[in-house]
Amino acid sequence: MKITNIRTIIVGNPWKNWVFVIVETDEGISGLGEATGGLKTKSHEADVHEIGRFVIGEDPTQPERIWQKMHKGTFLGTGPAMSGIEMACWDILGKTLNAPLWKLLGGKQRPKIRVYANGWYKGPREPQFFAERATELAERGYTALKFDPFGNAYRFFEGNEERRSLELIAAVRDAVGDDVDLCIEGHDRFSVATAVRVGKALAEFHPMWFETPVMSTDIPGTVEVARSIEVPVATGERFDHLGQFNELLSHRSVSIVQPETLKIGGVSGARKAAAIAESAEAFVALHQAQSPLLTAINCHIHASLPNFLIHEYFDEFLEPWSREILSGVPMFNRGYIEPSDAPGHGVTLNEAEAAKYPYGQNNFLRLFEEGWERRGR
């Protein structure tokens, strides 16, 4: 079997355009991957086509070899384009062997995957709204919720914004009680001093973690915050080299890492990052803020990991049409999802439906602007 062509399809999700990768072969079997990257679109699509020159004619049933060839061919590069192609090759391998991805990765460590809700707080940044929405989700079976209560704060707070942020967290905790875990998102926004002060204030709410309180790639700053507060720190979504996880975990102050599958090298890279974490007795909660395809792929990976912690889940809070363009994505059921038993990752892209939602130049998240949490245009 040989790779004969690589295509891309952009789908205009309102707050982040999704970039899908389709790898085609001479035997008629194709694989689906994703190259969505942060808030960039066209550059990642171009990367897929440019990098394709390294893999045309290669055997797609050897995804690790494919990735290494791209890595070396781009002078030790990495990123969503390479990961998208690699994921598509894993999909082809599974279809060729008639086996689901989780089985190719060594089997399941658990039958179902616990999830936390994200993207659920599209509304006014007021305690009552957050409390009411959180209550609804707890009643539906969610056992963990993640949210960023910090508005447009950047490095420091202005006025009474710190107090307001803590009021939002208190309202959610009061609404759902102690049986629902809260994951507090920092979005890389704070200085070390601010992060330490906020982290200490969070302790009374007993959150599962304080995520990326400072710039994720600032490992010394992250370590300082983690050592200064009682709340666990989670980080790692910006890392694009495995050595960064090794460096972070060597300090033994962070025990929850969040590799981004699209940044760290696709399926193989995520597994390697998880192995590094396992060697440091740390847990893994893969980052996932892309399309539902990544929900499915990360679900397969998480099912195979002995040190899995919890799974990020946006799917129920995306545009309703996302279920129309992608079939085979795991469905939420009382706090959990399950990986598919279909060959490969089990997801199919409906190209005709996808064409109804084209690229939008204003489809990006204005994270440090007022009202970004509404995720509108």
The answer to whether residues 69 and 213 belong to one domain is: no
| Average pLDDT of the residues of the chain | 96
The answer to whether residues 217 and 285 belong to one domain is: yes
Vertex 202 angle, CA 200 and 206, to 5°: 120
Select from 44, 69, 99 the last residue of a domain: 99
5's enclosing H/E stretch is strand 3-11
**Per-residue pLDDT at 368 exceeds 90:** no
Whether 368 is in a domain gets the answer: no
Whether 201 is in a domain gets the answer: yes
For residue 357, the model assigns a pLDDT of 97
For residue 369, the model assigns a pLDDT of 85
pTM for the full predicted model? 0.97
Whether 372 is in a domain gets the answer: no
Joined tokens for residue 193: 């001093």
Q: Give buried/exposed letters for 270-291 (b at 16+ CB in 10 A, else e).
A: bbbbbebbeebebbbbbbbbbb
**Per-residue pLDDT at 377 exceeds 70:** no
Cβ count within 10 A of residue 329: 21
What is the CATH classification number for the domain harbouring 292? 3.20.20.120
SS3 for 319?
coil
161's enclosing H/E stretch is helix 161-176
Whether 27 is in a domain gets the answer: yes
The answer to whether residues 82 and 209 belong to one domain is: no
The answer to whether residues 208 and 315 belong to one domain is: yes
| Residue 370 confidence class, pLDDT cut points 50, 70, 90 | confident
Select from 99, 115, 146 the last residue of a domain: 99
Q: What percent of the chain has pLDDT over 70?
A: 99
Joined tokens for residue 154: 């950047």
For residue 219, the model assigns a pLDDT of 98
User: Active-site residues: which are they?
Assistant: 187, 287
| Average pLDDT, integer, range 158-179 | 96
Q: pLDDT tens digits for 326-337? A: 999 999 999 999
The answer to whether residues 316 and 257 belong to one domain is: yes
- Among 71-80, 87-96, 292-301, 347-356, the least confident range: 71-80
Longest dimension (CA), the chain: 63
| Average pLDDT, integer, range 274-278 | 98
Contacts 24+ apart (CB under 8 A), 158-167: 162/198, 164/125, 165/198, 166/201, 166/202, 167/127
Contacts 24+ apart (CB under 8 A), 165-169: 165/198, 166/201, 166/202, 167/127, 168/125, 168/126, 168/127, 168/130, 169/202, 169/205, 169/207
For residue 347, the model assigns a pLDDT of 98
Q: pLDDT tens digits for 25-80? A: 999 999 999 999 877 899 999 999 999 999 999 999 999 999 999 999 999 999 99
The answer to whether residues 36 and 109 belong to one domain is: no
Whether 110 is in a domain gets the answer: yes
Which among 116, 108, 80, 53 is positioned nearest to 294, based on CA atoms? Answer: 80
Q: pLDDT tens digits for 175-215? A: 999 999 999 999 999 999 999 999 999 999 999 999 999 99
For residue 373, the model assigns a pLDDT of 79
| Average pLDDT, integer, range 116-137 | 96
The answer to whether residues 169 and 95 belong to one domain is: no
| Average pLDDT, integer, range 167-172 | 98
Q: pLDDT tens digits for 311-327? A: 999 999 999 999 999 99
C-alpha 131/C-alpha 129 separation (Å) is 5
**Per-residue pLDDT at 341 exceeds 60:** yes
The answer to whether residues 43 and 113 belong to one domain is: no
Whether 362 is in a domain gets the answer: no
For residue 376, the model assigns a pLDDT of 59
Whether 365 is in a domain gets the answer: no
Which among 76, 92, 125 is positioned nearest to 21, based on CA atoms? Answer: 92
| Average pLDDT, integer, range 292-308 | 98
For residue 215, the model assigns a pLDDT of 97
The answer to whether residues 286 and 195 belong to one domain is: yes
What is the CATH classification number for the domain harbouring 31? 3.30.390.10
Number of domains in the chain: 2
The answer to whether residues 149 and 161 belong to one domain is: yes
C-alpha 226/C-alpha 199 separation (Å) is 9
**Per-residue pLDDT at 98 exceeds 60:** yes
**Per-residue pLDDT at 1 exceeds 80:** yes
The answer to whether residues 202 and 116 belong to one domain is: yes
Select from 99, 119, 153 the last residue of a domain: 99
Cβ count within 10 A of residue 108: 18
| Torsion region of 98: left, alpha or beta (phi above 0 gives left; psi -120 to 50 gives alpha) | left
The answer to whether residues 84 and 219 belong to one domain is: no
Contact criterion met (CB below 8 Å) for 34 and 13: no
**Per-residue pLDDT at 372 exceeds 90:** no
Beta bridge partners of 348: 327
- Give the residue numbers spanning the domain of 49: 3-99
C-alpha 305/C-alpha 309 separation (Å) is 9
Whether 373 is in a domain gets the answer: no
